[in-house]
Structure 1
Amino acid sequence: MIIADNETAIDYLYYETVAKTVVKLIRQKSKEPLTIGLHGDWGAGKSSTLLMIESAFKGQTDTLCVRFNGWLFEGYDDAKSVLIETIVAALLKERSGIAKVADKAWDVLKAVNWMKAARTAGSLAFTMATGIPGPDLIQGIGSIASKVISDPKAYLTGDVFNKVMDGAAEHFKEAAPSETTPQRMHAFREDFEELLERAKVDRLIVLIDDLDRCLPQTAIATLEAIRLFLFVPNAAFVIAADEGMIEYAVRNHFPDLPAATGPTSYARNYLEKLIQVPFRMPSLGASETLVYLTLLLYLASGVSDSSVEFKSLLEVARKALQRPWLGTGFDRDKIKARLGSIPSDLDAALQLAAEITPILTEGAHGNPRQIKRFVNTMALRVEIASERGFQDDIKQSVLAKLMLAERFAPELFNAIARDASADGSKTISILERKVTSKGGKDADDDPMADWPNIEWVKRWAAITPPLNGIDLRPYVFVSRDRRTSAGIGVAGGPVEAMIERLATSTLGITQVTKAEAAALTPEDANRVFQGLVTKIDQTEDLGKRPPAAEGLARLCGDRPELREPLVAFLGRLPVSKIGGWVVSGWGVAVEGPQAQEFAELVGEWATQTSNKPLSVVASLQLNPKSKRK
């Protein structure tokens, strides 16, 4: 059974503690403007936590909780206006019986129309970095107002007319000709405060989700809208986003800003001013991964999350997760004591989870979505085998072990696939002899001697079950959904081949000509880029320059459209784990429009304090004269 990869109110990871803490803070600061950040990578559990926060306020008549997903509206309208309109629509829906609420809501909506008019007719948007109106706006709205009022159809034509004439002209009439944007913003806040008072809403809570999925301009527009409410009493915003992506959006929107001021960047400074209370979603450790993986595997076996057995298992899990550092409380004895007996599917889930948790914890970096995707992929492949009629040839423990290699060591999986197509198991045989000989030198030719992650591969080989002597062809066959090169008797495609050439050695990189890179379609070039990025992400020791980094520099040097994604990728690498190699060696791959972005990134590395060696190297890169001294 495939497990839905979306937010859930069922708390598998005891994230309810984060939700309860946020709810408690909102209640304590009920009369004050408040912005809270839920930070974490994609798939870290932010959306599920928002759902739990929303559930906590259900049924409270004096509180209005509104969810907003800017990603859903991207490309359709101004995100700033849509956010405000969404809030007003929710107020009208919940307080439809109060006439004076509708009257005041119209005043607020007219202000929104005024914002649209200012943006559309005169490009009069004030910047969120300073809050200072642009030059045109400083002159006031008198000239535009008079033109709109005297002959709106002549001044506002076509699309512009349709966008702003649904109330904007009337709002211009009510405004004094000399009224400036700051005055209109102040009036908007007053109107909104009165709207909340008339609606008898003691606390407005707006939950912002998927902001880090939006394009930079959409993310910035949403943040601008939130700034309008920073001084509105009773309004609280909870923003769920990867702060690294939001910082990137700020840098993208304000390219002329210096890289940093003091110890932090301008982008980080702005984010810290906007978000008063930051929460970081915790990554999963080994014990938490074991619990989560067991629950998912049990669900994938077909059990319902509403069944008595699963709810009882979840109780045991939640108790164990109260103190995960102890690593106790989620074992067969505790589970049997709670359930009375252990169903066979649960027993299999416990066994499989215990075997693969150590490497999956490391490889997935504690990300719940990555673990869920692993389980779903495995369940899908088992289902494919069942539909084809060879389910008896597939054992989940063997499939899971091979999938770990496929996900975290592609060169190992490819070697196994080649062996399987030749009806052999040379790679497995060598590996398992290495493990059983406890690191002794193998007498046979060792094709893995130069592999950069050989220590990871050895740990993988030690996982049960051993694979030597098992016919792996069914497993390789069912894995063809992910890698064409893994198919039996099927050569890898040109994209996969280029990825391998660019990721393995200097010789392979030099063999990729500029003409070959230029001949790639945009889609294939992006696939090569993502393949190289994945290999770097899978590298165990980022203190040394991964081979794929050289290939990535070569590719992006030949494909200018990939330079912006390259800088974004370098910016999301874990600062505490990367070596000084990341500062240099990129050549033309970071030239052109991305030169300033890369320089800002080097500036951030130079000023951070979690990785002193990186800070030193980055500082020398910025100030080469100090190196000569």
Structure 2
Amino acid sequence: MFLNDQETATDLLYYEAIAKTVVTLIRKTPDAPVTIGVHGDWGAGKSSVLKMLEGAFAEDDRVLCLWFNGWTFEGFEDAKTVVIETIVDELRRARPTSTKVADAAKKVLKRVDWLKLARKAGGFAFTATTGIPTFDQVKGLYDVATSFLAKPQDHVSIEDLKGVAEKAGEFLKEAPDESDNLPEHIHAFREEFKELLDAADIDQLVVIVDDLDRCLPKTAIATLEAIRLFLFVERTAFVIGADELMIEYAVREHFPDLPPSSGPVSYARNYLEKLIQVPFRIPALGVAETRVYVTLLLAENALGSKDPRFLNLLASAREDMRRPWKSRGLDRRTVEQAMAGKMPPDVDQALVISAHVTKILSEGTRGNPRQIKRFLNSMMLRHAIAEERGFGADIQRPVLAKIMLAERFYPDFYEQIARLAANHPDGQPEALRRFEEHVRAPAPEEDDDEKPAAKGGRKAARSAPAPLPAEAMEWEKNEWAKGWAAIDPPLTGVDLRPYVFVTRDKRSSLGGLAAASHLEGLVEKLMGPTMMVRGAVGEIAKLTGPEPEEVFEAIRGRILQDDNFAAKPKGADGLVRLVEAHPALQRRLLEFIRELPVAKVGSWAASSWGACFTDTGIAAEYQTTLRSWAEQTENSILQKAAQGISKLQRG
């Protein structure tokens, strides 16, 4: 049994509090229209919150709650009309026997037909605010369509234009006197929709819009523009689940001629804030919350979601998460009490694993629940494979989790360990043993440098420790590797060959795991010439979740593998564009720069990165690296370049 990656049926993160707050807000403003945003990164749990919200209205006959998934309608010719038609159709289904609802729905759908009419024209402008064609636009459409029918062009479908002309002709016959007045169109649409709500006899219409951040910019903007038509219709509430950054990107892509912002907030952000009146942001999990989440996931997997012991544990976890800043995670005593004093082995192991992997997993996934769940799923799948192959007893989950942490967050480090383990007769690399001992050794006391001999009065000099193996010396320079070596369980004396075997997936350039073809294609573009890299900016911006890190690691690995740094290597410009679009990668870029062999790099290394570091702390660390290059004497070309850059910055 593995962990379902869909919207969770069990609220392990106490997101119910967010859902209840949204429900309360909607119920306390029954007459006023409201648009609410549920924001969060990819995999943060937005859809789970929206499902809880939908469930809260399920038993209320006076509230009609509709679910609209924008991604489902990706590729439709006009997502805007799809949104409106879906809402109207759902209202008709809710009251299937009502002639009032049917008549009111027809009136609204007739106005929707105008949208389709203008879309058919292919080049007739919509108004910027609503997308509804004016009377003059439709009249022009009718004239053009009839003229094309008289003299058809090779690239125009006669059937399409005939249908357009008929539709336009019908509209012109029925058009009221004020049809050329755009505000009247807007007012009429909203009034007709109010009549539809009255006919349906409901107190509120709640429309949940999910997965909007997965859509292409065209679909996302069309959906948002449709929602704008309802902004002043009483008794309507829209709840939009989306990552704000992706929606801002969609706005910039759809409106490329927007002027640069003259204030602290971009036009793209202003667009979103005017549309969404009340934003809720789902916070990333902290270290303690990650530990609770991992424990609950594994305990639910072991016991089942209906087991009284698990329900007791879930209740304790919720109480703990009421004040997460005070939480230390679920400790053994709390879990034992929930288990009624008898700890099942799988739950005991869940506690061990959560204690071991929490810190690095929290930092590596940045508190993202979906990435945490996928890590655990992968771990359980690999353990199951080992059991099916007959060596499950050789695999301990805490050790497997530690190995997988290296594989997931520092693939080059993992590759070295795997290679050393495979080449050692007992699968116990000496370099890893020495590295762990070095990291875990207690710091010497300040007055312990010299100790007196037993009888002589002379002081015996403290013996210098043996130098570390070359691999361990490189690992010692990396803070992540040292943190990894310090966590339990230690791997000294463990035969790592079974673990290497069970984590041996199909290799690719992306961090060691089989990767999606679109990421492989993007890596190739970012490894290409400057013009190709610039052309990939749009694809870079669409990366979500762990994808930016995977692409970064793929490019980084290929650059270091080439081992040619006199001239700027292919991929360096790609890293710059990637970090500019995803500033969270700044730390990784700094680590990459520090990995460059000082003796081999050319002047390009000193002048290629400065604009990437917008974080003041990381920028300061980069300046320290630049100063060290300016002071070293091993590489005069790099030295002069670094000195020149430093001088320019001071000037």
> Which category of TM-score, normalised to the shorter sequence, fits these structures?
0.7 to 0.9
**Cα distance in 1, alignment partners of residues 96 and 605 from structure 2:** 59
* Per-residue deviation, residues 595-625 of structure 1 (Å, max 9, x unmatched): xxxx9x99xx7xxxx969979x9xxxxxxxx
8 Å Cα contact 2:70-2:209 kept in structure 1: yes
- With 287-296 and 339-348 compared, the bigger mean Cα shift is at 339-348
Number of aligned pairs?
563
1:534 to 549, 563, 577: 549
In structure 1, what is the equivalent of residue 235 of structure 2? Answer: 234
SS in 2 for 1:260: coil
Find out whether 1:144 has 2:112 as its counterpart: no
- AA of the residue aligned to 1:29: T
Measured after TM superposition, the shift of residue 93 of structure 1 is 1.0
1:570 to 566, 580, 600: 580
**Cα distance in 1, alignment partners of residues 197 and 137 from structure 2:** 29
Find out whether 1:426 has 2:423 as its counterpart: no
In structure 2, what is the equivalent of residue 478 of structure 1? Answer: 502
Within 5 Å, give how 1:247-262 maps onto structure 2.
247-262=248-263
- AA of the residue aligned to 1:480: R
Within 5 Å, give how 1:24-39 maps onto structure 2.
24-39=24-39
- AA of the residue aligned to 2:264: P
C-alpha change, 1:154 and 1:333, in structure 2 (3 Å) is farther
In structure 1, what is the equivalent of residue 44 of structure 2? Answer: 44
- AA of the residue aligned to 2:78: D
**Cα distance in 2, alignment partners of residues 219 and 52 from structure 1:** 23
- AA of the residue aligned to 1:427: A
Find out whether 1:444 has 2:444 as its counterpart: no
**Cα distance in 2, alignment partners of residues 454 and 100 from structure 1:** 71
In structure 1, what is the equivalent of residue 395 of structure 2? Answer: 394
Measured after TM superposition, the shift of residue 243 of structure 1 is 0.5
In structure 2, what is the equivalent of residue 622 of structure 1? Answer: none
**Cα distance in 1, alignment partners of residues 508 and 7 from structure 2:** 32
Structure showing greater Rg = 2
SS in 2 for 1:261: coil
- AA of the residue aligned to 2:103: D
Within 5 Å, give how 1:176-215 maps onto structure 2.
176=176, 178-215=179-216
8 Å Cα contact 2:190-2:229 kept in structure 1: yes
Normalised by the length of structure 1, the TM-score is: 0.78
Aligned Cα RMSD in Å? 4.5
In structure 2, what is the equivalent of residue 298 of structure 1? Answer: 299
C-alpha change, 1:185 and 1:60, in structure 2 (3 Å) is same
Within 5 Å, give how 1:499-578 maps onto structure 2.
533-534=548-549, 555=570, 570-574=580-584
SS in 1 for 2:234: coil
- AA of the residue aligned to 2:421: A
8 Å Cα contact 1:20-1:53 kept in structure 2: yes
**Cα distance in 2, alignment partners of residues 370 and 402 from structure 1:** 17
- AA of the residue aligned to 1:351: V
Measured after TM superposition, the shift of residue 569 of structure 1 is 6.0
**Cα distance in 1, alignment partners of residues 195 and 116 from structure 2:** 22
Measured after TM superposition, the shift of residue 230 of structure 1 is 0.9
Find out whether 1:8 has 2:8 as its counterpart: yes
8 Å Cα contact 2:548-2:582 kept in structure 1: no
Find out whether 1:460 has 2:484 as its counterpart: yes
* Per-residue deviation, residues 424-470 of structure 1 (Å, max 9, x unmatched): 51331132121233468651333244459711211111111111221
Gaps of 5+ in 2: 445-464, 593-603, 623-647
- AA of the residue aligned to 1:59: E
SS in 1 for 2:492: coil
Measured after TM superposition, the shift of residue 197 of structure 1 is 1.1
**Cα distance in 2, alignment partners of residues 614 and 436 from structure 1:** 31
8 Å Cα contact 1:12-1:292 kept in structure 2: yes
Measured after TM superposition, the shift of residue 258 of structure 1 is 2.2
**Cα distance in 2, alignment partners of residues 313 and 191 from structure 1:** 52
**Cα distance in 1, alignment partners of residues 301 and 166 from structure 2:** 51
8 Å Cα contact 1:44-1:281 kept in structure 2: yes
* Per-residue deviation, residues 161-212 of structure 1 (Å, max 9, x unmatched): 5986997764443224752444323221111111011111221111111111
**Cα distance in 2, alignment partners of residues 587 and 93 from structure 1:** 65
Find out whether 1:288 has 2:289 as its counterpart: yes
Find out whether 1:99 has 2:99 as its counterpart: yes
In structure 2, what is the equivalent of residue 108 of structure 1? Answer: 108
**Cα distance in 2, alignment partners of residues 581 and 485 from structure 1:** 19
C-alpha change, 1:221 and 1:479, in structure 2 (3 Å) is same
- AA of the residue aligned to 2:407: E
Within 5 Å, give how 1:596-607 maps onto structure 2.
none
* Per-residue deviation, residues 209-260 of structure 1 (Å, max 9, x unmatched): 1111111111111111111111111111111111011111111111121231
Measured after TM superposition, the shift of residue 331 of structure 1 is 2.4
8 Å Cα contact 1:359-1:460 kept in structure 2: yes
Within 5 Å, give how 1:261-272 maps onto structure 2.
261-272=262-273
8 Å Cα contact 1:556-1:589 kept in structure 2: no
C-alpha change, 1:63 and 1:85, in structure 2 (3 Å) is same
SS in 1 for 2:470: coil
In structure 1, what is the equivalent of residue 449 of structure 2? Answer: none
- With 303-312 and 163-172 compared, the bigger mean Cα shift is at 163-172
- AA of the residue aligned to 1:425: P
Measured after TM superposition, the shift of residue 494 of structure 1 is 14
In structure 2, what is the equivalent of residue 372 of structure 1? Answer: 373
**Cα distance in 2, alignment partners of residues 191 and 443 from structure 1:** 82
C-alpha change, 1:348 and 1:133, in structure 2 (3 Å) is closer
**Cα distance in 1, alignment partners of residues 376 and 569 from structure 2:** 35
**Cα distance in 1, alignment partners of residues 430 and 96 from structure 2:** 73
- AA of the residue aligned to 1:143: G
- AA of the residue aligned to 1:463: I
- AA of the residue aligned to 1:456: W
**Cα distance in 2, alignment partners of residues 415 and 580 from structure 1:** 21
SS in 2 for 1:372: helix
- With 239-248 and 169-178 compared, the bigger mean Cα shift is at 169-178
- With 176-185 and 86-95 compared, the bigger mean Cα shift is at 176-185
Measured after TM superposition, the shift of residue 332 of structure 1 is 2.6
**Cα distance in 2, alignment partners of residues 612 and 412 from structure 1:** 25
C-alpha change, 1:228 and 1:577, in structure 2 (3 Å) is farther
**Cα distance in 1, alignment partners of residues 232 and 99 from structure 2:** 26
* Per-residue deviation, residues 39-70 of structure 1 (Å, max 9, x unmatched): 11000010000001111111211111111111
**Cα distance in 2, alignment partners of residues 145 and 227 from structure 1:** 28
SS in 2 for 1:447: helix
SS in 2 for 1:237: strand
- With 42-51 and 91-100 compared, the bigger mean Cα shift is at 91-100
The percentage of counterpart residues that share the same residue type is: 46
